[in-house]
Each structure stands twice: as C-alpha cells, then as structure tokens.
Amino acid sequence: MILSAGGVLAAAGASAAAILLPAGRARACAMLVALALFPALILGDQWHSPQIVDLREEPTSFAALGIAALAGAGILAACFRRWPVALPLAIVFALPFRVPLEAGGDTANLLVPLYLVIAGGVLSTALGELKEGGGFQRRAASRFSHSPLSERLGASGEKPSARLEPPTLLPCVLAAVVVLYALQALYSPDFSKSLQNVCFFFVPFSLVYALLRDVEWNRKLLVLVLWVIALEAVAFVIVGSVEYLTRELFWNDQVIRSNEFHTYFRVNSIFWDPNIYGRYLALVTTIAMAALLWAKEKRTLALLTGLVAVLWFGLVPTFSQSSFAALLAGLAVLAALRWSLKWTLAAVGMGAVLAVIVILFTGGNSTISPDRINIDTGGRLNLVSGGGELFAQRPIWGYGSGSFPRAYREHIATKKAPVSVSHTQPVTVAAEQGLIGLAAYAALLIAALWTMSSGLFARQSVGRAAVLAAFVALLVHTMAYAGFYEDPISWVLLAVGASLASSQVRDGT
C-alpha cells in the first residue's frame, strides 16, 4: 500500500511536470517517468487478479505481449520522428477505440490503441528533446506548419504570425487537478479503483496534453483532423446502421437485453455504450457544423452538409438524450459566435421552456413527482440525490478519489443493484473530492472556457469556434452522463484550445 501510494503520487507529480514544464530535457524526463510508472502501477495493483494470474501462468505469452507492446511503441516513435504531423493525427484517430481484453472470466474495455500512440509519442518527443534540447518539438512542428502548402492555405495568403507565449492559467489548474486527485486517492476506501483512475486516465491523458500543446494547429492540420474524424464517424454510422437494420448488436449484453424489452432499438456501433457513441457523434457533428457555418466554397458546403446529414441519421438510433442535449449546446455556441449572442440566449431560453412543457405533459400527466422525474431521467435523480447525501456527510474533502461506487453502496440505503458511476460529473466530484475537488473542477472549467473564448467574438476563427463549441457540448454531456476526466477527448480539446488561443491564428482556422 505504501509503495503503491508513493507510486501514484510520483506518477501524478511527473504528469503535472509534463504539463507545466517547457519543452526540454526536464520535461522529457518527466514524461518518461510518467510513461513507465502508470503501467507498472497497474500491473502491481492487479498482480493477483484473475486477469494477470492467467497471463502469469503463460510466461511465454506474457513476455510476447510485452515485447509486442514495446515494438509497437518503438515503430510508432520512429514514424513520429520521421513525420511529426502523424502524431496529432494518430492521437485523434485512436480516441474512440477500446479493445476488449478477456481473462479470468472478466472483460475490460481499454484504450489500448491510444496508450500505444501515447507511448510512441512520448518516446519520439523525449528522444528528440534529450538529444537536441527544447527546440526539437518546435523545429519538428515547423517542418510541417511552415511548409509552403500550409502558408498557401491561409485565408489572407500570409504567413501565420509568430507564436505567443502559451497561457499559464489553464496548465497550472490542470496540473493541480491531477495532483489533487492523486492526493485524495490516499484516503479513498477503494484505493485500487482510484489507482486505476489515475493510471488509466489522469497520467496518460496528461501526456496527451503535453504532446499536443506545442503542436502548430494551422489550417492544414485542422483540415486533416476534420477528415480523420469525419471518415471515422461515417464508418461508425455504417456499423450502427447495420446493427439497426439487422436488430443485432456486436456486444454489451445489458443493451442487448434492454432492446428486447423496449419498443425502440438502441445501437452502439463499435462503442460499448450507446450514450458514448452518441457523445462521439454529437461532438463530430458540432465540429462539422462549425466548418459548415464558415465555409465559402460550394463543394465544401455540399460535402459538409452531407456529412452532417449522415451523422444525424447515425445519432438518432442511439436514443441518447444526453447526446441530443450536448449537440444542441454545441450548436447554440456556434450560433452565438456566428450570428448573435443575444438572440441565441433568447432562443435557448424559449427552447428550454418548451422542453419542460413537453416533458411535463407527455402522456397527459402533468403531475410533478420525484418518481416521475426519476423515470424520465433514467434513474438519474436517485444517483444525484445519493451523491448529494454523500457530499453532505463529508462536504470538505469527500470520500476520496474513485470512491463513489463503494461509498454509495455502503452509506446510501437502496434496494437496487449497486451503481458504478453517478452519471453526473459535478455530483461525482462533490461526493468523492468535496468542496476542495469542486473548487478545482470549477477552476478548470473557468480557465478552459476563458482560454478558449478569449478574443473569439472580436476575431472569429473556425478552429477555435469548433473547439469551444465541442468543449461546451462535452460539458453538457458530462452533466448527464459524467466521464469528463475519464474521456481523452476532454484533454485533447483542452490542449488544442490552449494552443490555438496562444498562437493567435490569423489564417482563418
């Protein structure tokens, strides 16, 4: 326990250093330490679990798996050093994919492709910075961002201006959040769960932030990213459409059983959860709409219109209310930026009133009761009220990071099956981390929104508008389905938003 606790703090400290330190040898060392610690801590924590025991009983397979992982990371590192632009594209490409790993009778869906990309990116970046110092990543990025093609893609035909110093508030708050979560893991009643959260999410995603923060997000790169997520999303929609037409899902027995008792049929494509599939489509749709609203060429307008239509048809059979709300929030941000903040706020207010009326009077029953609200929200009211009770019991420091499932089971009287998540991010933070964690969470949101929106209304940028709208959409979704810290997309948006804000892009991106 003591060694594991020290390892968690060391990993969080190295991650915070990777976020805060400028490119150079010190940051390279911090990134390598974090990269080495998070799989070692997971392995140590799960050493006697059925999954690891199964692997230990076959040492040849265990060794082969480790060698394959190292070889894959090494190959990716070589590719990223040869083609620096491949690193951000690979990270974005790997975001949706989770690999089901079965051992000991259990299945875990892990972000294995993303972890391999992170390892390759860290090795590539660290090797360059250890050899060449802090200028490596900037020189590598400049080979792409200052190419003649990228210069010609500028709206004014001029070179982008020199990069400004990156904002200091957002990385400072983000690093503090990482360290605080690790500290509050030390008194969690479920230390194993908190360790897994630190090692599966906070540490590797901090490395994602560090890898992406210095990337030159010019027009060419942003267009390539749009192509990547558009093609991926269309492929996912095709898979989901096949599921809907055949009435068969690839996995998730819980959703399969649920479809047998409902008049509607929910699809999840390659995703485990229909709501996470819906979240991904809502975010891609928001980004595509940003490009559409500022597009000028007829061909671009036609392509983006077709893309949005396909994504919408893919989103509908998810029946994810939180995803629809997230999409509406993202579109509202885009409308405020593109046209009028005042009229957008008025439209949002009227829409909210109409939505409440429709919900209350659906089925001819206008009676407001906790049971009615709980049914309409899929049981969220019970989770929110239970999380509120946990917060009231320990309002200052909470029950500890990752403790919500166990604390809910042990301290909230319920005859229902134990829960695994609260489905509402602020509730999770309040119950687990108390006012201390809520303050850090609020500070992060304020710093992120301030950084992403600063100067955007005065000088509009398609890239910054898309990132801000997608981030707001993600926030809305996490209010109804949680998963803010645990979603790598959050960290990617934070990194890209900070980078775009600091670079003051002038070429219309």
The helix/strand/coil state of 103 is strand
- Model confidence at 180: pLDDT above 70: yes
Mean pLDDT of 420-442: 89
Residue 103, strand partner residues: 106
- pLDDT attached to residue 262: 74
Query: Does residue 41 contact residue 199 with C-beta atoms inside 8 Å?
Result: yes
Higher pLDDT, 264 or 316: 316
Q: For residue 254, how many other CB atoms are within 10 A of its CB?
A: 9
Count of H-run helices and E-run strands, the chain? 23, 2
Please tell me the number of Cα atoms within 13 Å of 393 on its side-chain side: 17
Summarised one tens digit per residue, pLDDT across range 247-286 is 888 887 778 888 777 778 889 999 988 999 999 999 999 9
Amino acid at 366: S
- Model confidence at 61: pLDDT above 50: yes
Summarised one tens digit per residue, pLDDT across range 99-150 is 876 544 455 678 999 999 999 999 999 988 887 765 555 444 444 443 333 3
- Strand segments, DSSP code E, in 56-211 are 99-103, 106-110
Lowest mean pLDDT among 257-261, 416-420, 501-505: 416-420
What Rg value do the Cα atoms of the chain yield, rounded? Answer: 23
> Which of 25, 42, 15 lies closest to 178, judged by CA?
15
The angle that helices 274-294 and 462-481 make with each other, rounded to 10 degrees, is 160
- pLDDT attached to residue 258: 80
- pLDDT attached to residue 163: 43
Amino acid at 216: E
Instruction: Identify the band that residue 361 occupies on the pLDDT scale cut at 50, 70 and 90.
Output: low
Residue with tokens 């990116």: 121
- pLDDT attached to residue 378: 52
d(CA 255, CA 273): 8
Exposed / middle / buried, residue 132 (Cβ in 10 Å: 0-12, 13-18, 19+): middle
d(CA 88, CA 114): 11
Tell me how far apart the terminal alpha carbons of the chain are, to the nearest angstrom. Answer: 49
Greatest Cα pair distance, the chain, in angstroms, is 71
> Which of 99, 102, 2 lies closest to 44, judged by CA?
2
In the chain, where the domains are located: 2-145, 219-503
Query: Does residue 498 contact residue 170 with C-beta atoms inside 8 Å?
Result: yes
- Model confidence at 349: pLDDT above 90: no
d(CA 137, CA 134): 7
Which DSSP state fits 362? Answer: G
Residue with tokens 């003051």: 504
